[in-house]
């Protein structure tokens, strides 16, 4: 008899895993238990949905008839895992046996402590339901504050701006997207966002929410300033959902600890996606999760392949009218080629060490981004391409023979 596979969480990692299992002809029973009412949708597109650039139907990741091969139990939360008896218990009392268990529980928004924040009008931007609620906010021209000037905070702020709200981003660091960009890139990005009508306050965080009749009316900042607002969104980073696994006795750290085959510390239990941790690394992008899904599908079908390995995964911002691409590392001790065109909001920085491209930041013009990422990934010698490197692959190739000569 083929083993029963149970997956906890019906997010993107699960969608990719189901696709990979199908590709390998997996024919055992699979049950997926997810606590959202929607299963396996494309979370990446929530920003475009909020901005009115994508329709909800476009978020579907799995074919409509996937349910025939897989049993989905939606809107149900797994509350306890008993690894001795290979059983999970859900919040509605349902119990489910498994032979192989996969944690795909994702992350939650890591919320900072803000006094008075437990009122209506304070929310997060993580799920389809969160997005639907934001889309239902009545009337335009509301004052909205978004806490967090990282990728998700800026995409949320852009979406709300597009809907006609007046949006202010509070970012506690000295420049936007400080984890991905250098200061100059962050400043160029800021100017572009401000020119689209977004307000940005750097070095600022919220200390207290003010409310009336249990609804937010404003927010006090730690520098003493006060902003009127009717909506506050928290986008200050994510924390892997590891608590359920920890309570079941699995090794956890920041996330659920896995090896290169996505195996957890107890037999027949696996984890992938944003809830997992390999070495020091947790994950917040889709690209590594797709790779994990391939590796785990090999494990679950008894045809293990090579280990999942840590790589560099480029970052892009999905804000219409603003190009942004970052790959590799921005080592300040290495050699830097920089192109600045402030009048057109363009800033391009390439980082080179020992004739190899090791990093690229492209703001305002991301042409060549995937080519740079490949050069970085393949550790290619770029000495001959150097002359035209800044201008993308065509120009670099055109100028290469002349340079070599
Ligand atoms: C707005 C937004 C934009 C993004 N844009 C990009 C982008 O441009 N590029 C990119 O690479 N990545 C992007 N990401 C990140 C990407 O969406 C995530 O990396 C990916 O969704 C992670 O997949 P996952 O399955 O690990 O987690 P999730 O997709 O979060 O799925 C986990 C699921 O498990 C459920 N769950 C948790 N605990 C339980 C439990 N006990 N019982 C039952 N169910 C449970 C959760 O509710 C959730 O539905 C974006 C994320 C957001 C929110």
Residue nearest atom 8 of ligand 1, based on CA coordinates = 44
Gap from CA of 180 to ligand 1 centroid (Å) = 20
Q: Name the residue with tokens 């192109």.
A: 339
Gap from CA of 383 to ligand 1 centroid (Å) = 40
CATH 3.50.50.60 region(s) of the chain?
5-108+238-301, 122-234
Of the residues 6, 7, 9, 62, which should be mutated to test ligand 1's pocket, given the most ligand atoms within 8 Å of the CB?
9
pTM tops 0.85: yes
Residue 233: left (phi > 0), alpha (psi -120 to 50), or beta? beta
How much is the average pLDDT of 245-254?
A: 98
**Cβ(330)–Cβ(359) under 8 Å?**
yes
**Cβ(155)–Cβ(322) under 8 Å?**
no
Gap from CA of 4 to ligand 1 centroid (Å) = 24
DSSP annotation of 387: G
Q: May I ask the CATH class of domain 315-399?
A: alpha beta
Query: Within 6 Å (CB) of ligand 1, which residues are found?
Result: 8-14, 33-36, 43-44, 46-47, 77-78, 104-107, 125-126, 152, 155, 241, 244, 273-274, 284-287, 289, 318
Percent of the chain exceeding pLDDT 90 equals 88
**What's residue 404's pLDDT?**
47
CATH of domain 122-234: 3.50.50.60
Residues contacting 394, CB < 8 A, separation 6+: none
**Cβ(256)–Cβ(276) under 8 Å?**
yes
**What's residue 405's pLDDT?**
39
**Cβ(334)–Cβ(353) under 8 Å?**
yes
Closest atom of ligand 1 to 47 CA is 1
Residue nearest atom 50 of ligand 1, based on CA coordinates = 44
Residue nearest atom 7 of ligand 1, based on CA coordinates = 44
Of the residues 32, 37, 43, which should be mutated to test ligand 1's pocket, given the most ligand atoms within 8 Å of the CB?
43
Q: How confident is the model at residue 186 (pLDDT cuts 50, 70, 90)?
A: very high
Q: How confident is the model at residue 398 (pLDDT cuts 50, 70, 90)?
A: confident
At 10-31, the pLDDT tens digits run 999 999 999 999 999 998 999 9
Of the residues 31, 77, 105, which should be mutated to test ligand 1's pocket, given the most ligand atoms within 8 Å of the CB?
105
How much is the average pLDDT of 243-258?
A: 98
How much is the average pLDDT of 50-74?
A: 89
**What's residue 403's pLDDT?**
46
Residues contacting 127, CB < 8 A, separation 6+: 36, 38, 43, 46
**Cβ(117)–Cβ(109) under 8 Å?**
no
Architecture per CATH, domain 5-108+238-301, reads as 3-Layer(bba) Sandwich (3.50)
The Cα–Cα gap between 267 and 142 comes to: 52
At 282-336, the pLDDT tens digits run 999 999 999 999 999 999 999 999 999 999 899 999 888 899 999 999 888 899 9
């Amino acid at each position: 008899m083929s083993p029963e596979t149970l997956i906890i969480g019906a997010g993107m990692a699960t969608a990719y895993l189901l696709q990979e299992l199908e590709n390998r002809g997996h024919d055992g029973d699979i049950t997926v238990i997810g606590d959202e009412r929607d299963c396996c949708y494309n979370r990446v597109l929530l920003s475009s949905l909020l901005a009115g650039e994508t329709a909800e139907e476009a978020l579907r990741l799995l074919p409509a008839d996937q349910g025939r091969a897989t049993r989905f139990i939606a809107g149900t939360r797994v509350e306890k895992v008993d690894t001795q008896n290979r059983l999970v218990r859900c919040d509605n009392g349902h119990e489910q046996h498994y032979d192989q268990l996969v944690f795909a529980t994702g992350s939650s928004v890591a919320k900072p402590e803000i006094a008075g924040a437990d009122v209506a009008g304070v929310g997060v931007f993580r799920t389809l339901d969160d997005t639907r609620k934001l889309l239902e906010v009545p009337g335009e021209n509301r004052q909205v504050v978004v806490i967090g000037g990282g990728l998700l905070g800026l995409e949320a702020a852009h979406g709300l701006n597009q809907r006609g709200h007046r949006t202010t981003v509070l970012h506690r660091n000295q420049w936007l997207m400080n984890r991905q960009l250098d200061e100059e890139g962050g400043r160029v990005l800021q100017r572009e966002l401000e020119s689209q009508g977004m307000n940005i306050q750097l070095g600022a965080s919220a200390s207290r929410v003010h409310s009336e009749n249990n609804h937010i009316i404003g927010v006090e900042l730690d520098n003493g300033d006060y902003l009127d607002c009717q909506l506050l969104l928290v986008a200050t980073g994510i924390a892997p959902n590891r608590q359920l696994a920890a309570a079941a006795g699995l090794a956890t750290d920041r996330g659920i600890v896995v090896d290169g085959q996505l195996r957890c510390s107890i037999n027949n239990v696996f984890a992938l996606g944003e809830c997992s941790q390999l070495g020091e690394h947790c994950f917040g992008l889709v690209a590594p999760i797709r790779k994990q899904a391939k590796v785990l599908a090999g494990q679950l079908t008894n045809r293990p392949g090579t280990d999942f390995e840590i790589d560099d995964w480029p970052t892009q911002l999905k804000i219409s009218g603003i190009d942004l691409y970052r790959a590799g590392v921005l080592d300040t001790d290495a050699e830097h080629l920089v192109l600045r065109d402030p009048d057109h909001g363009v800033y391009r920085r390439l980082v080179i060490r020992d004739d190899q491209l090791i990093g690229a930041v492209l703001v305002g013009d991301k042409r060549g981004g995937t080519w740079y990422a490949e050069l970085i990934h393949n550790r290619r010698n770029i000495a001959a391409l150097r002359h035209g490197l800044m201008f993308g692959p065509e120009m670099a190739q055109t100028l290469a023979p002349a340079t070599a000569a």
